[in-house]
């Protein structure tokens, strides 16, 4: 008994913990991205596989070096750097140069995350910070897209093409007024960012995250509803100039942004009401930029812009505390 | 049938099957019993005996001091060996009466008052509740007679008998509901008589449906037995009142502020025994369970029995013990020693084998908001934990830290394993210190 006495662990309740962990959540997100990632390799060739590998390795190495410099406990095994690496590539054009990806990875981790204090403290989505940096640094590369090197005639009716430079459906719409069939948009047999083209595979993967509640469902729901409704209103006013709600939903980066980037736990609101406001803000900005801005696509800037408001949204949407008339303060 | 519930909460594995079917059995009475003079919230007792005195079971050994205090009784007959400070389940050393059990089993109970509710005087019942040393047996150990003496301006219209037992592992209340149904109902009616309320609601979680049915049948339509959803912390007073009556106890207030008194199942049985049989609170049901004991069991144990004696009677520990918890694993208190005695508030002893998570370091908050969804009082536990880490105590107060009921749902779901409850407790303590300093 004496021997045991000294070994009893003393700590505050609760004495049991759920089996959720940060690494489990991050790994789940990565695994659910795999269908879309695999499809992107199928669409754009093995070069993008190289980009994935380079990006993940860069992110891990950057994380390792910064953590060493800051003399902090290792955070590599939480998979968050891997996730950032994968997401960064998914939102880049298929023939983006390798050195660009390395630069983007470093910026994502160092400036996007570690400068704020590491995982949990960053204000902006790290992968999007990296992409925004690359968009400013390599304006030509970031807007050079190729057509997928396959063709599924039953979906698109198009002929097979090989690494032909092309414009994304959003750019085609904006600058040339050419619409892309919804089927190709939905399945992603179109030009676009590496992992962002296929709404189908992204939605498929995210179902698991919704079930596990790793995604606060109100955020994507609010984004998609806002985009659809606003686009549909504009489309109703002037169908020649403004594409339909469904087109806007499945074109460009809205699916990957809405399902995987706006829902990043660290950079989205804590409260239910907050998620709805956050999502509506993103949706409205996307519609605004796409239809009235100079760029064909606006998901990245919309999310980054709304990220900045999250602390304020959290403060403003604190729930009513049990037994009180209104929220405190 | 309507199933009542509240917002938030969590579903930890119930683990009740370990001991829920074990009949309550008399624990062996040890040779030496340690009876602490602090077993309730409020003023500690004053010793009523001296070293060398002979005592009988049921004799007062600690006198109540002040209104918020109850007497402590000798659990067995024997001799007072010593009166000294001994380690207590709450952690500190507490003045305790050490009694040598002489095996004679002489009793000195109070006068039985019978079980005829109609002829009982509420004042006499209340006096008996005090003299019987009865406290809230759910774990809070608040003196029962205080709870049953609400001020006139707070009229009570409903008594809820809490049979939720929402803590995982524990089955003490469940066994009482099954094995002592009649005593439970009688005790509840006695409490009702003191309060002058007709409306008595028995609340039982859906995972104890058989107990609810048994009580429902015994009530024979005279009183209500309702089912509440199996969800932690359903048994927390505020959540239970919200679920069953849809009333919200105001921030900083008590159930009496919304016309309700909540009593635990064990308390009602103890009241019944004190009134009907004149037996003071000298023993209670303790579930000795958890994956760290060989044969989990439910004991009727004398107050003062060292916990190692109970654990040995449950087959002893199995493998390397990580934690021994007084109460349930969600809100219970980890014990530093196996020598501490059973006290009035000990609803269970949960022995957990050593697990890696017990020593795991915690990480930063990733704002997953699992805790925000789980918090039954709608706080932002994640934000509170960050504020407390930054030692901004006043800000913590603004974020409602004092409204936290410390149920631990937040820390249970936290993927970063953050010690949210500990941080909250620290913040509350610091705020009390600040208040005390400001008063000066």
**Cα distance between residue A235 and residue A247, in whole Å:** 10
Q: Do A120 and B329 touch (CB under 8 A)?
A: no
ipTM score for this prediction: 0.90
| Nearest chain B residue to A329, by CA | B398
A78 pLDDT more than 90: no
pLDDT for the residue numbered B161 = 96
Pairwise pLDDT comparison (B198 vs B289), residue with the higher score: B289
φ, ψ at B348 (rounded to 5°) = -170, 165
- Compute the nearest-CA separation of B65 from chain A (Å): 30
Chosen for mutation from A278, A323, A324 (greatest number of chain B CBs closer than 10 Å) is A323
- Compute the nearest-CA separation of B381 from chain A (Å): 10
Q: To which residue do tokens 């269970």 refer?
A: B348
Residues in chain B closer than 8 A to A319 (CB atoms):
372, 378, 380
Q: B93 with B86: CB under 8 angstroms? A: yes
Least confident of A151-155, A278-282, B375-379: A151-155
- Pairing mode, if any, of strands B199-205 and B158-163? parallel
| Percent with pLDDT over 70 in chain A | 91
SS3 B148: coil
Residues in chain A closer than 8 A to B325 (CB atoms):
13, 15
Q: Do B317 and A25 touch (CB under 8 A)?
A: no
**Cα distance between residue B290 and residue B354, in whole Å:** 12
Cα Dmax for chain B: 62
- Compute the nearest-CA separation of B173 from chain A (Å): 20
Q: Do B330 and A13 touch (CB under 8 A)?
A: yes
| Nearest chain B residue to A267, by CA | B367
Q: What is the mean pLDDT of residues B381-406?
A: 95
- Compute the nearest-CA separation of A63 from chain B (Å): 16
Interface of A with B in 66-85 (CB under 8 A): 73, 75, 78
Q: Token digits for B41?
A: 């919230």
Q: What is the mean pLDDT of residues B418-425?
A: 95
Interface of A with B in 152-171 (CB under 8 A): none
| Percent with pLDDT over 90 in chain A | 68
> Which tens digits make up the pLDDT trace of A146-175?
888 765 444 444 444 445 677 888 888 888
pLDDT band at A6 (very low <50, low <70, confident <90, very high): low
Residues in chain B closer than 8 A to A14 (CB atoms):
329-331, 408, 411-412, 421
Q: Mean pLDDT across chain B, nearest whole number? A: 94
| Nearest chain B residue to A73, by CA | B363
**pTM for the whole thing?**
0.91
> Which of A186, A157, A82 shows the shortest CA–CA distance to A127?
A82
- Compute the nearest-CA separation of A75 from chain B (Å): 9
Q: Do A10 and B321 touch (CB under 8 A)?
A: no
**Cα distance between residue A188 and residue A255, in whole Å:** 11
Q: Does A12 touch chain B (CB under 8 A)?
A: yes
Closest residue to A270, CB basis, from B242, B332, B369: B369
A271 pLDDT more than 60: yes
Q: Does A312 touch chain B (CB under 8 A)?
A: no
Q: Do B400 and A266 touch (CB under 8 A)?
A: no
pLDDT for the residue numbered A189 = 84
Q: Does A315 touch chain B (CB under 8 A)?
A: no
Q: Token digits for B97?
A: 């009466």
Chosen for mutation from A3, A11, A18, A19 (greatest number of chain B CBs closer than 10 Å) is A18
pLDDT band at A55 (very low <50, low <70, confident <90, very high): very high
Q: Do A15 and B337 touch (CB under 8 A)?
A: no
Q: Do A216 and B369 touch (CB under 8 A)?
A: yes
| Nearest chain B residue to A7, by CA | B322
Closest residue to B413, CB basis, from A11, A20, A265: A20
Pairwise pLDDT comparison (B53 vs A328), residue with the higher score: B53
pLDDT for the residue numbered A2 = 45
pLDDT for the residue numbered A5 = 46
pLDDT band at B218 (very low <50, low <70, confident <90, very high): very high
pLDDT for the residue numbered A71 = 82
Neighbour tally for A103: CB within 10 Å: 17
Q: What is the mean pLDDT of residues B113-137?
A: 93
Interface of A with B in 241-260 (CB under 8 A): none
Pairwise pLDDT comparison (A145 vs A255), residue with the higher score: A255
Closest residue to A321, CB basis, from B333, B370, B400: B400
Neighbour tally for A131: CB within 10 Å: 27
| Gyration radius (Cα) of chain A, Å | 21
Residues in chain A closer than 8 A to B12 (CB atoms):
16, 18
Residue A296 Cα distances to A12, A185, A248, A251, angstroms? 54, 15, 11, 10
For A165, counting Cβ atoms within 10 Å of its Cβ (0-12 exposed, 13-18 middle, 19+ buried), the class is exposed
Q: Do A8 and B336 touch (CB under 8 A)?
A: yes
pLDDT for the residue numbered A75 = 66
Q: Do B334 and A15 touch (CB under 8 A)?
A: yes
DSSP states of B410-437: HHHH-TT---HHHHHHHHHHHHHHHHHH
Q: Do B251 and A322 touch (CB under 8 A)?
A: yes
Q: Token digits for B314?
A: 């449950």
Which residues are CB-neighbours of B254 under 8 A, at least 6 positions away? none
pLDDT for the residue numbered A329 = 37
Residues in chain A closer than 8 A to B338 (CB atoms):
1, 4-5, 8
A327 pLDDT more than 60: no
Chosen for mutation from B249, B340, B380, B426 (greatest number of chain A CBs closer than 10 Å) is B380
A256 pLDDT more than 50: yes
B106 pLDDT more than 90: no
Q: A51 with A96: CB under 8 angstroms? A: yes
Domains along chain B with CATH numbers = 28-109+280-356 (3.10.20.600), 111-277 (3.40.50.11540), 370-439 (no CATH)
Residue B352 Cα distances to A210, B12, B207, B333, B358, angstroms? 33, 15, 22, 13, 10
- Pairing mode, if any, of strands B78-87 and B54-55? antiparallel
Q: To which residue do tokens 């009513």 refer?
A: A320
Q: What is the mean pLDDT of residues A228-239?
A: 95
> Which of B150, B277, B9 shows the shortest CA–CA distance to B142?
B150
Q: What is the mean pLDDT of residues B49-70?
A: 93
> Which tens digits make up the pLDDT trace of B219-245?
987 788 899 999 999 999 999 999 999
**Cα distance between residue B178 and residue B405, in whole Å:** 29
Q: To which residue do tokens 């006198």 refer?
A: B63
Pairwise pLDDT comparison (B400 vs A184), residue with the higher score: B400
- Compute the nearest-CA separation of B364 from chain A (Å): 6
Task: Give the strand order in the sheet containing B93-101.
Answer: B32-36, B93-101, B78-87, B54-55
**Cα distance between residue B270 and residue B439, in whole Å:** 40
**Cα distance between residue B114 and residue B272, in whole Å:** 10
Residues in chain A closer than 8 A to B412 (CB atoms):
14, 16-18
Residue A129 Cα distances to A122, A124, A281, A305, B402, angstroms? 11, 7, 19, 11, 39
B44 pLDDT more than 70: yes
SS3 B73: strand
pLDDT band at A180 (very low <50, low <70, confident <90, very high): confident
Q: Token digits for B346?
A: 């000990």
> Which of B377, B365, B367, B368 shows the shortest CA–CA distance to B419?
B365
pLDDT for the residue numbered B310 = 95
Residues in chain B closer than 8 A to A270 (CB atoms):
367, 369, 372, 380, 382-383
Residues in chain B closer than 8 A to A4 (CB atoms):
317, 321, 338
**Cα distance between residue B255 and residue A255, in whole Å:** 49
pLDDT for the residue numbered A156 = 44
Which residues are CB-neighbours of B149 under 8 A, at least 6 positions away? B126
H helix intervals, A17-79: 22-44, 46-69
Closest residue to B12, CB basis, from A16, A214, A323: A16
Least confident of A156-165, A238-247, B46-55, B309-318: A156-165
> Which tens digits make up the pLDDT trace of B262-318?
999 999 999 999 999 999 999 999 999 999 999 999 999 999 999 999 999 999 998
> Which of B371, B351, B363 shows the shortest CA–CA distance to B412?
B371
């Amino acid at each position: 008994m004496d021997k045991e006495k000294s070994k009893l662990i003393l700590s505050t309740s609760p004495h049991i913990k759920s089996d959720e962990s940060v690494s489990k959540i991050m790994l789940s997100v990565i695994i659910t991205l795999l269908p879309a990632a695999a499809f992107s390799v199928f669409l754009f060739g093995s070069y993008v596989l190289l980009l994935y590998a380079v990006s993940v390795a860069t992110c891990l190495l950057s994380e390792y070096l910064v953590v060493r410099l800051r003399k902090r406990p290792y955070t590599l095994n939480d998979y968050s750097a891997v996730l950032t690496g994968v997401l960064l590539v998914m939102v880049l054009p298929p023939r983006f140069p390798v050195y660009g990806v390395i630069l983007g990875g470093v910026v994502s981790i160092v400036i996007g995350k570690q400068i704020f204090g590491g995982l949990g403290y960053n204000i902006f989505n790290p992968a999007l910070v990296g992409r925004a940096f690359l968009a400013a640094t390599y304006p030509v590369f970031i807007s050079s897209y190729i057509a997928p090197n396959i063709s599924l005639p039953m979906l698109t009716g198009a002929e097979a093409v090989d690494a032909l430079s092309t414009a994304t459906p959003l750019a085609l719409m904006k600058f040339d007024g050419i619409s892309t069939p919804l089927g190709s948009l939905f399945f992603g047999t179109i030009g676009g960012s590496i992992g962002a083209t296929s709404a189908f595979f992204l939605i498929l993967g995210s179902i698991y995250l919704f079930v596990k509640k790793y995604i606060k469902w109100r955020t994507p729901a609010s984004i998609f509803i806002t985009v659809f409704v606003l686009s549909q209103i504009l489309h109703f006013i002037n169908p020649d100039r403004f594409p339909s709600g469904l087109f806007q939903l499945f074109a460009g980066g809205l699916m990957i942004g809405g399902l995987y980037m706006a829902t990043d736990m660290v950079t989205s609101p804590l409260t239910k009401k907050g998620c709805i406001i956050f999502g509506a803000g993103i949706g409205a900005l996307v519609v605004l930029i796409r239809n009235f801005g100079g760029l064909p696509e606006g998901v990245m800037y919309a999310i980054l812009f709304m990220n900045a408001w999250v602390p304020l949204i959290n403060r403003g949407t604190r729930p009513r505390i049990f037994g009180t008339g209104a929220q405190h303060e | 049938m309507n199933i009542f519930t509240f917002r938030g909460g969590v579903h930890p594995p119930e683990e009740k099957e370990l001991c829920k079917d074990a009949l309550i059995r008399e624990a062996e009475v040890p040779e030496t019993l340690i009876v602490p003079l602090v077993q309730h919230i409020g003023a500690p007792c004053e010793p009523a005996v001296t070293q060398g005195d002979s005592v009988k079971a049921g004799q007062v050994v600690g006198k109540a001091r002040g209104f918020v205090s109850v007497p402590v009784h000798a659990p067995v007959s024997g001799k007072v060996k010593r009166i000294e400070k001994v380690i207590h389940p709450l952690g500190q050393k507490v003045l305790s009466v050490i009694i040598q059990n002489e095996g004679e089993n002489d009793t000195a109970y109070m006068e039985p008052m019978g079980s005829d509710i109609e002829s009982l005087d509420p004042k006499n019942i209340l006096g008996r509740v005090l003299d019987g040393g009865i406290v809230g047996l759910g774990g809070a150990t608040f003196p029962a007679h205080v709870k049953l003496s609400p001020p006139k301006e707070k009229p009570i219209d409903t008594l809820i008998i809490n049979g939720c037992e929402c803590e995982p592992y524990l089955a003490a209340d469940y066994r009482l509901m099954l094995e002592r149904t009649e005593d439970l109902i009688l005790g509840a009616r006695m409490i009702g008589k003191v309060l002058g309320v007709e409306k008595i609601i028995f609340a039982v979680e859906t995972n104890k449906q058989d107990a609810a049915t048994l009580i429902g049948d015994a009530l024979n339509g005279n009183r209500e037995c309702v089912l509440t959803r199996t969800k932690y912390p359903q048994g927390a007073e505020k959540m239970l009142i919200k679920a069953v009556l849809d009333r919200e106890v105001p921030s900083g207030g008590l159930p009496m502020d919304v016309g309700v008194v909540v009593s635990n199942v064990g308390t009602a049985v103890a009241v019944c025994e004190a009134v009907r049989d004149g037996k003071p609170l000298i023993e209670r049901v303790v579930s000795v369970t958890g994956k760290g004991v060989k044969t989990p069991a439910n004991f009727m144990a004398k107050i003062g029995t060292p916990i190692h004696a109970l654990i040995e009677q449950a087959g002893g520990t199995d493998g390397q013990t990580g934690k021994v918890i007084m109460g349930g694993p969600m809100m219970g208190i980890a014990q530093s020693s196996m020598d501490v005695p059973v006290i009035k508030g000990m609803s269970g002893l949960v022995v957990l084998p050593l697990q890696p998570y017990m020593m795991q370091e915690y990480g930063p908050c990733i704002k997953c908001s699992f805790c925000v969804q789980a918090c039954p009082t709608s706080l932002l536990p994640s934000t509170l934990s960050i504020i407390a880490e930054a030692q901004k105590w006043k800000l913590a107060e603004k974020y409602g830290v004092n409204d936290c009921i410390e149920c631990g749902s937040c820390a249970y779901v936290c993927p970063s394993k953050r010690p949210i409850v500990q941080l909250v407790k620290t913040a509350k303590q610091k705020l009390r210190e600040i208040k005390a300093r400001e008063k000066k």
